[in-house]
Each structure stands twice: as C-alpha cells, then as structure tokens.
Structure 1
Amino acid sequence: MEHGTTVVRDKMSEPGPAKVSTRERILEAATDLFYAQGLRSVSADKIIERVGITKVTFYRHFRTKDDLVVAYLERQAERERADVAAILARAGGDANEAIRLFAETIGTVSCTPGFRGCPFINAAAEYADQDHPVRRTVAAHRHWFRAVLEEMITPLHPTEPAGIADQLVLLRDGAMVSGYLGDPATVSRSLYRAARAVISSHM
C-alpha cells in the first residue's frame, strides 16, 4: 500500500506541460502568418481570429500591430543568434570551418520547402521609412550579423576585415534568393567558394 501511495504522490508532484502564455500564443500565430503572407497583408484581426482571443486581450499585450511586428523580428533575431552560436561552437575556433558551416547552413535553409526569404529583408521591403521601429530593428540585427562575420574572419588576418564582412553580407543575401532556384549543395558550394575568393583577394 505504501508503495502504491508513493507512486501516486510522485505522479501528482510531476510538473505538467508548461502553459503557453497568451502573449506567446499571439507571437506564435503572428510568426506563422507574417512570414507566410507578409507583414502588411496580415491584419491584427486575422491574428486575433487565429489565436481565438478578443481585441481587448490582443491590445493588452501589443499596443499596436507594429509593436507585434517588432516583437516578431526580435524573436527571429534571437533564433538566428542561437543558430550562429551553434555554428561557431561546432567550428571550434577554425575560421575556415566556420565559413564552410555558414555556407552549408544557408544553402540548406534557403532551399527548404516553405522558405520565403530572409524575414529581415522582407520586413525592410515593406517598411520604407528608415526611422520606423521595424526598420531600426532590422538595422540592429544586420549590424550584429555583419559584426559576427567580421569577428569570424579576423583570425585569417585579412587586410580589410570590415570591407570583407560587408561583401559577405551581400553574398549571403544573394544566396538566400538563389535558394528559390537552386539546390542546397549548389547554393552552399557556390557561397563558400565566393566567400573564400573574397577573403583571398584581401590577404
């Protein structure tokens, strides 16, 4: 009997699945809809309907739709930073390996079914005002990404790491578009070779 009681007590004390907050549910729905359909084409009402909440509840968490767009982009930025950190960890300080892994990852991601381009480039295309909070969020993330690339190639001792980083960002942007038309291996290989060529020209 005591053993059975212990089992029941243990099961009752086990934590159940974490309850997803309303804010998180809104953000999850927005992430799916924004990326698939575009930022301006998705209304707040469409998100409210998807989540199954009232307008009052929605605006309690996000004062405006633009606030939600910024939160969506910040979430995307967090995910990309985690992905980049994982790549750098795998490379183990080897700059050439890091470049190869970057190219491989971008090739794979850009050729994945459902891929609709870089969410930050997409956002910039929809928000022309560079002083808008959305554009500032995009600019902050791209500044971070460029800085990561510059830091990554510095151990190779190129003559102009800042200029190379700018060119690598352009190559990455192009590869994201090429993913619509190519296959992962081709995109990855082409990006890696182009990156190596740019770096070698500054050695």
Structure 2
Amino acid sequence: MPRPADPATRDRILAAASRLFYTRGIRAVGMAEIVAAAGCGKNVLYRHFPSKEELVLAYLHRLAEQLDDSMDAAVVGLEKMPSAALVAVTREVADRVAARGFRGCPFRNYLREMRDPSDAPGRFALTEIRALRRRVDGLVAAMGVEEPDVMADRIWLAIEGMYASAPYGDRPAAATSAVGLVQELLAAA
C-alpha cells in the first residue's frame, strides 16, 4: 500500500523549486536538481508533481497568492479613494521591484523565457498580469476621469516600465520615478 503524500514534503519541494526557478529560470533547472535541493527522492517529487509543468504551475500559483495578498493589503482602507489606491498599487510594485534580490516578475519572466503562453503555466501567467491590469482599469474608472482608457494606459505603462527597466540601472530610482509619475498623472486628472 503506498504511503499518503505528506503536505510538508510537498511544501519543501515547492520551496526548493521556487528558489531555483526564480533565480535561474525554468529551463535551466532540471528535476534532478530539484530532488537534490528538496532532499527527497525522485518518486516522492513525482508523487506530488507528476510533471515539471505541474511543478511550474504550482510555483506560479504560490507566487500569485503572495503577490495578490500584498496587493490587497496595499489598498486596504482605500476603497473610497481610487486615486490613493492607484498610488498604493504602484508603490507596491515599486517596493517589490526595488527590493534586494528582485529578479523580475515571475509571470513576465515565465512568458519571456518560455515564449509559449498557450501552456497551463503561460495561461496562468497571462491571467495574473491581466488581473493587475483590470485592477488598474477599475480604479481609474472609479475616479470618473475623462478618457479613463488613456489614464489607465499611462499608469499601466509606468508599472510595466518598472518591470521592464528592472534588469538595468538603478531599480530604486526607477521605482521612485514611476510612483512620482503616477502621482503627477493623478494630480493632473
């Protein structure tokens, strides 16, 4: 009779894989390396994650929960102040981008590295990116500004610009500039 899967082992495997995937990329990390990093057997890994794709999807889901929670926490109490919430959302991204060890948005990294948004992890990554865009769009719409699509596009470009410029130059300065740009856009609205 097979032993039941231990959730602590699953978490240990996922934590090891997450570190490796985030620092080195999905393609660069093999399942044998994850087995070694997690300190488990190959059979144990495959009992929890029958394929690398399922492990990658679990990694992206885990990060999505963390990012969604931090984004939700950033806007607590700002439900009736959409412009303040937009600044808070931008600042949340800025803080993440400026943080030590930041190696890019995991969803954007996946899409850049794998170049196939049609697999399950790719579809999930796109869903997460689009969810943030919908949050921005909804907050701009709640402001009641003229041309909300234009305002949302500009704020989105500031957010995307932080992610795009992260590998180059001074991330904290770029993050501060992006927050300032969004504040200026909102003040002019």
Normalization by structure 1: what TM-score? Answer: 0.79
Q: Distance between the aligned counterparts of 2:62 and 2:69, measured in 1?
A: 11
Quote the Cα distance in structure 2 between the aligned partners of 1:63 and 1:165: 41
Q: 1:141 aligns with which of 128, 134, 159?
A: 128
Q: Report SS of the residue matched to 2:75.
A: helix
Q: Paired residue for 2:73, among 86, 91, 114?
A: 86
Q: Distance in 2 between matches of 1:165 and 1:96?
A: 11
- Aligned-pair identity in percent equals 28
TM-score (norm 2): 0.85
CA contact (8 A) 1:25 1:51 kept: yes
Would you say how many aligned residue pairs link Structure 1 and Structure 2? 183
Taking the aligned partners of 2:59 and 2:19, their CA distance within structure 1 comes to: 10
For residues 56 and 183 of structure 1, do their structure 2 counterparts lie closer, same or farther at Cα, with a shift above 3 Å needed?
closer
Counterpart CA distance in 2 for 1:65 and 1:183 is 32
Kindly indicate whether residue 12 of structure 2 is the aligned counterpart of residue 25 of structure 1: yes
Aligned residue for 2:3?
Answer: none
Aligned-partner Cα distance in 1 for 2:70–2:106: 15
Between stretches 64-73 and 93-102, larger displacement belongs to 93-102
Pair 1:44 & 2:31 matched: yes
Assess, with a 3 A threshold, how the Cα gap between structure 1 residues 34 and 81 changes in structure 2: closer, same or farther.
same
| C-alpha contact (below 8 Å) 2:94/2:179 kept by paired residues | no
1:191 paired with 2:178, answer: yes
Which of 135, 143, 153 is the equivalent residue of 1:156?
A: 143
How far did 1:200 drift? 6.8
Q: Structure 1's 79 and 193: CA in aligned 2 closer, same or farther, altered over 3 A?
A: same
Name structure 1 gaps, 5 residues minimum.
1-18
Instruction: Work out whether residues 75 and 85 of structure 2, in 8 Å CA contact, stay in contact via their aligned partners in 1.
Output: yes
**1:75 and 2:62 equivalent?**
yes
For residues 78 and 161 of structure 1, do their structure 2 counterparts lie closer, same or farther at Cα, with a shift above 3 Å needed?
A: farther
| Whole-angstrom distance in 1 between the partners of 2:148 and 2:66 | 25
Deviates most, 123-132 or 100-109: 100-109
